[in-house]
Amino acid sequence: MDVISVIRTKRDRGELSPEQIDWVIDAYTRGVVADEQMSALAMAILLNGMNRTEIARWTAAMIASGERMNFDSLARPTADKHSTGGVGDKITLPLAPLVAACGAAVPQLSGRGLGHTGGTLDKLESIPGWRALLSNEEMLHVLDTTGAVICAAGDGLAPADKKLYALRDVTGTVEAIPLIASSIMSKKIAEGTGSLVLDVKVGTGAFMKNIEDARELARTMVGLGTDSGVKTVALLTDMSTPLGLTAGNALEVRESVEVLAGGGPADVVELTIALAKEMLDAAGIKDADPAKALADGSAMDHWRRMIAAQGGDPDATLPVAREQHVVTAPESGVLTRLDAYGVGVAAWRLGAGRARKEDPVQAGAGVELHAKPGDTVTAGQPLMTLHTDTPEKFDYALASLAGTYDVAPAGTAFSATPIVLDRIA
């Protein structure tokens, strides 16, 4: 087998054979195939696609590059959720303890933020003492004793994907549906969850900008999961405007705690409950009521235990950025648009996100929204507050907000986009 013939097959729109796929993934993981050769293959896949048989084999080869975890020793059924990433998407934080409170075991192997979308681990690391890195034994222990664990995926899980994802990130090949689907599903299947709910984001703040692409990604991932014996369901959800009222690490933890306390923004509560119901259904738990578990404090109890089990202090004061800048409404009327991408880039530029994997993030940085689309605003009232420890970044962040919101005359009709756009099972 040689890599040039594999690249030529896909360049010329051919179908990769199972042997070619197994060989190229293994050889790339071992360093026998060079980054520039894998870049050429990834670009050929982005341009010419892969069929369902190729995607399934590619996913299986990435799973086989590392270890597979197993939760069979747990008394409860396992349910996991994966979001394709968005702005203000803190849903994992209230969702994992909520679903645990309803009787499932929730293993959430999560990532860090890259670019304008935030990462769950960065958010939780703003809680003093909280540790993302757990050994497999520690992870199982936290899951078994608290019902939920949110931690970093170990290096042993789908190492081919780790290497390939980093390469795609710097070669303009992230946005290929076969590569996104196989990347996400190889990690989820290797993780060993019994059921999986996918939150496929659609809109300006998401990878998938239109609903047709999102449907194709969702169908591909649901097919991969189902064929591997994982009960898999996808919700397509709106990411044209930020979720909730915050984008930024500690800001989003604070909002998540509000949701766990029975309050919080309506869109975050609605999506948390919708995903919880899907997870419980997929896990075969029929008689639980997630709304009740938020209202009666049992989800909050599980959150506190989960955070403490990973060294965090659930009562600690969260970090606050040193400097604030308020953006005001330019005129009175109805806020008809607030673009997720612009807000995400602003939060990132303020220090909430990173440009390279190794960059640090600021815990307190981000954007706090004071109005959402559909709200009536008065000229001069605060629309959003920018938070950062590095005030020299304000102008840079403000530049990304130019043209990201519209205020229409009072009385202008406004119809809200639903949060859940479609369901694919």
Task: Tell me how far, at minimum, the Cβ of 161 lies from ligand URA, in Å.
Answer: 7
Q: What is the distance between the alpha carbons of residues 182 and 172, in angstroms, rounded to a whole number?
A: 17
Is 302 assigned a catalytic role?
Answer: no
Q: What is the distance between the alpha carbons of residues 366 and 318, in angstroms, rounded to a whole number?
A: 14
Is 82 assigned a catalytic role?
Answer: yes
Task: Tell me how far, at minimum, the Cβ of 194 lies from ligand URA, in Å.
Answer: 20
User: Which window, 22-30, 173-181, 387-395, 405-413, contacts ligand URA (CB under 6 A)?
Assistant: 173-181
Is 163 assigned a catalytic role?
Answer: no
Q: What is the distance between the alpha carbons of residues 227 and 162, in angstroms, rounded to a whole number?
A: 23
* Residues paired with 284 in a beta bridge: none
Task: Tell me how far, at minimum, the Cβ of 183 lies from ligand URA, in Å.
Answer: 3
Among 44, 69, 114, 184, binds ligand URA (CB under 6 A): 184
3-state secondary structure of 404: coil
Q: Are 127 and 301 in contact (CB under 8 A)?
A: no
Task: Tell me how far, at minimum, the Cβ of 88 lies from ligand URA, in Å.
Answer: 17
CA 244 to each of CA 26, 92, 139, 314, 319: distance values in angstroms, whole numbers, following the listed order: 42, 13, 29, 21, 19
Work out whether 165 is an interface residue with ligand URA (CB under 6 A): yes
191/368 with CB nearer ligand URA: 191
User: Which window, 149-157, 180-188, 298-306, 333-341, contacts ligand URA (CB under 6 A)?
Assistant: 180-188
185/338 with CB nearer ligand URA: 185
Q: What is the distance between the alpha carbons of residues 259 and 183, in angstroms, rounded to a whole number?
A: 31
Residue 214 makes CB contacts below 8 A (sequence gap 6+) with: 200, 201, 202, 206, 208, 236, 421
100/151 with CB nearer ligand URA: 151
Give helix 18-29 / helix 159-169 axis angle, nearest 10°.
80
Work out whether 180 is an interface residue with ligand URA (CB under 6 A): yes
Task: Tell me how far, at minimum, the Cβ of 180 lies from ligand URA, in Å.
Answer: 4
Work out whether 117 is an interface residue with ligand URA (CB under 6 A): no
- Residues 78-107 within binding reach of ligand URA (CB under 6 A): 84
Work out whether 183 is an interface residue with ligand URA (CB under 6 A): yes
Residue 31 makes CB contacts below 8 A (sequence gap 6+) with: none
Is 162 assigned a catalytic role?
Answer: no
Handedness of CA 344, 350, 355, 359 (dihedral sign): negative
Which is catalytic among the residues 39, 183, 186, 256? 183
Work out whether 45 is an interface residue with ligand URA (CB under 6 A): no
User: Which window, 52-60, 172-180, 226-234, 324-332, contacts ligand URA (CB under 6 A)?
Assistant: 172-180
User: Which window, 12-20, 72-80, 178-186, 298-306, contacts ligand URA (CB under 6 A)?
Assistant: 178-186
* Residues paired with 388 in a beta bridge: 323
Q: What is the distance between the alpha carbons of residues 380 and 170, in angstroms, rounded to a whole number?
A: 41
Work out whether 214 is an interface residue with ligand URA (CB under 6 A): no
User: Which window, 93-101, 176-184, 208-216, 313-321, contacts ligand URA (CB under 6 A)?
Assistant: 176-184
Q: What is the distance between the alpha carbons of residues 108 and 310, in angstroms, rounded to a whole number?
A: 13
Among 387, 23, 424, 33, residue whose Cα is nearest residue 199: 424
Which is catalytic among the residues 161, 199, 238, 267? 161
191/339 with CB nearer ligand URA: 191
φ and ψ at residue 367, rounded to 5 degrees: -125, 130
Longest dimension (CA), the chain: 67
* Residues paired with 105 in a beta bridge: 78
Is 161 assigned a catalytic role?
Answer: yes
Work out whether 276 is an interface residue with ligand URA (CB under 6 A): no
Work out whether 361 is an interface residue with ligand URA (CB under 6 A): no
Residues with a catalytic annotation lie at: 82, 161, 168, 183, 187
Residues engaged in binding ligand URA (CB under 6 A)? 84, 165, 174, 179-180, 183-184
